[in-house]
Chains A and B, each alone.
Chain A
Amino acid sequence: MNKWSQLLSLTGLVAVSTLASAQETVKIGVIEPLTGSVAYNGLASVNGAKLAVEQRNAAGGVLGRKVELVIEDGQCRPANSVNAAEKLVQRDKVVALQGAFCSSATAAVMPVAEKYKVPFVTGVSSKADLTEKGMQYFFRSAETDRLMSKTFSKILADKLQLKTVAYIGVNDDWGRGGVEDFSKDLEALGVKTVMKEYFDHGATDFYTLLTKLRASKADGVFVAAETQDGSILVKQFKEFGIKTKIFGVGSWATSDFIGLTGDASEGIYAAVPYASSLANDRNKAFVEQYSKAYKEKPGKYGAAGYNAMNIMLDAVARAGKAEPEAIRDALRKTDYAAPNGRYRFTDKGEGYGFDVVLVQISQREPHVVAQSATEKP
């Protein structure tokens, strides 16, 4: 499967890059899951990155050269992602890396980036300790679970007036981390935890879980899940006749999610770092261009891929040369105006300054309920 998808993505790339390759290009490596249960979101991130590159190339590229993406399928698995990173650095000679999506895969790629001294930006991986490992070449332009949890717990407790909450998460480090963080912060605000359960990636039947949830009589249920698992879960919530308030983290405010869940999406709250309905000019332009290119509105991951790639390309441009160390130093001075706020980095490479939003889905559109900028951690 791996070989095949690599071959496929390579042939796609060759087609895209033949035009640009007349002149030497600035190569940037992207590792995302293109197969497996989060492939769908991985692809959205790649689409965002591609859009950023297309815009940049249309405006003359960076350092007077065209930018070329070399995309690899890391499958969200540590081993595959490391292989992809080694290949990108050794064979393709990329000057920088973006990706790996799942925190566990990103954590595995970080030492590789460090070893070859290649700047590495992730727009997605949110596990808190990634930036605590003393890595010099790693940057994160994503909200951590901690940051999200801190910002949102207050909004949730105030706005939704919850007394008891049940927690459901996908059974991996992200899902478990999200459940832990939110339950801790909400408990600190006096909201009682009545249930904590996990399910595996790719699970299809949630009735047992829902039986437990109904028995717990919670006011609200927190769910950490991505599009595929989350949409099936939400549909079954409604089938099961559960009327509890649902609030989710993951890619919940996207048009795909809403399309898949249909009417069952009505009234759901989603804590997201990005919503296509954010009202500002930069976002309007971004949504318009993204919709034109991919026939759908950008979601969390489309925006994440777009922002991470723009941050990287800005840094290359500011560095003035395609050399890893210069790019890294430039990355540290990032002040990037995104569709959703201004991104800056701490000394540890932790991104902050961007907005996070609480949206409610009504009539198949996400509406912003509350918005607040993340503070410097």
Chain B
Amino acid sequence: MELLPQYLANGLVTGSFYALSALGLTLILGLMRVVNFAHGELYMLGGVMGWWATTRLGLDFFSGLVLVAVVMGAFGWLVDRFLIERIRNQGEEPGILLTIGLSIFLANTALLAVGTAPLKVEAPISAGPLFLGTVVLTKLRVFAVVVCALLIVAAWLVIHKTRLGRAMRATFQDPMAAQLVGVRTANVYAATFAMGTVIASMAGMLLGSIYSAQVAVGGLVSMKAFVVVILGGMGSFAGAIAGGLLLGVVEALWGGYVATGWVDIVGFALVILTLVFRPYGLFSKRAERA
């Protein structure tokens, strides 16, 4: 039992990382109804670019993060205008095929460009241990959790408190009505996808500084993000956070008290249970769009 606080701390830290990794996915899924299978690859690109910015360009972590956000935002915008635009309003299948294709393209392009070696993103602070009573954390992890929280709050503010956010919500409630009152819906779609991309790539760089950035990481990240989104409900901010923390804590407890070798079983068992008993997610208000 004396290990419980440590397990909970481990779970909450990984849980907040899961929440941040899933945020971009739930945004795009909830607002645009696009199942973005390239989410993990966008995360991976963030990590790879973060490595490039901090070690090759010699930038510090925060300038690198800004650079990654700007470049990936532009990239997300272009992907929406040139690719997703073409399959808008054609049902879900073309979107799924498109994003799967995009994920394969991105993963292999990155493989060709930087190879298979794990890449080190220079961290902003040292990774030395930090003791809170019997619980061990590192400064870097505490820092990352704080950045996670800030990013999540910032994304929430953009969507709920700005003009762009209002336009986004209007567009996804009823595109026709939004157009009639003068919202440029094409730009709104592109901005939403760009925002999802920025969050995914920033998560990739941030977590790349704690673990390491790898080209092959995309599939695993997408998988966990889908688990979180299904647990929390599509498009729900609170859901993504609660789903992420729940997954992190349950995995840590399972690993701690049962066996670390079967940790991945937990997430998927949770998903199956959620789909059986609460198919709209644990925290979702029913999908309101017809």
Please give the residue numbers on chain A whose beta carbons come within 8 Å of chain B beta carbons, in ascending order. 1, 4-5, 8, 34-37, 39-40, 43, 171, 197-200, 202-205, 207-209, 211-212, 215, 227-228, 231-232, 235, 238-241, 256, 260
Contact = CB atoms under 8 A, between A and B. Distances in A.
B214 interface: yes
A39 B7 contact: no
Interface string B187-215: 00000000000000000000100011010
Contacts of B128: 239
Contact of A197 (B7, B138, B259): B259
A65 B267 CA distance: 56
A235 B129 contact: no
A208 B260 CA distance: 8
Contact of B217 (A34, A202, A208): A202
Contacts of A40: 115-118
A217 B127 CA distance: 23
B111 A228 contact: no
B182 interface: no
Contacts of A231: 118, 212
A39 B104 CA distance: 16
B189 to A, nearest CB: 29
A39 to B, nearest CB: 4
Contacts of A241: 129, 131, 136
Contact of A205 (B140, B211, B256): B211
B238 interface: no
B174 to A, nearest CB: 39
A208 B256 contact: yes
A208 to B, nearest CB: 4
B44 to A, nearest CB: 12
B54 interface: no
B10 interface: yes
B108 A8 contact: yes
B175 interface: no
B216 A8 contact: no
Interface of B: 3, 6-7, 10-11, 13-14, 17, 104, 107-108, 111-112, 115-118, 120, 127-129, 131, 136, 138, 140, 207, 211-212, 214, 216-217, 220, 251-252, 255-256, 259-261, 263-264
A102 to B, nearest CB: 15
Given A198-B261, A231-B212, A208 B111 contact: no
B42 to A, nearest CB: 17
Contacts of A238: 127
Contacts of B116: 34-35, 39-40, 43
A368 B263 CA distance: 37
Contact of B136 (A171, A209, A212, A240): A240
Nearest to B14: A205
A232 B136 contact: no
Which of A198, A212, A231, A238 has the most chain B CB atoms closer than 10 A to its own CB?
Answer: A212
B142 to A, nearest CB: 12
Contacts of A228: 118, 212, 214
Which of A35, A203, A239 has the most chain B CB atoms closer than 10 A to its own CB?
Answer: A239
B216 to A, nearest CB: 6
Contacts of A239: 127-129, 138, 140
A240 B138 CA distance: 8
B108 A5 contact: yes
B6 A197 contact: no
A36 B215 CA distance: 9
Top 4 nearest A-B pairs by Cβ distance? A198-B261, A208-B255, A39-B116, A207-B10
Contacts of B6: 207, 211
A97 B14 CA distance: 43
Given A40-B118, A199-B260, A209-B255, A260 B216 contact: no
Contact of B129 (A37, A200, A205, A240): A240
A232 B211 contact: yes
A34 to B, nearest CB: 8
Nearest to B127: A239
Given A8-B108, A207-B13, A235-B127, A260 B3 contact: no
Contacts of A8: 108, 112
A258 to B, nearest CB: 12
Contact of B3 (A198, A202, A204, A215): A215
B7 A211 contact: yes
A260 B260 contact: no
B17 to A, nearest CB: 8
Given A197-B261, A199-B260, A207-B13, A260 B252 contact: no
Contacts of A260: 118, 120, 212
B120 to A, nearest CB: 6
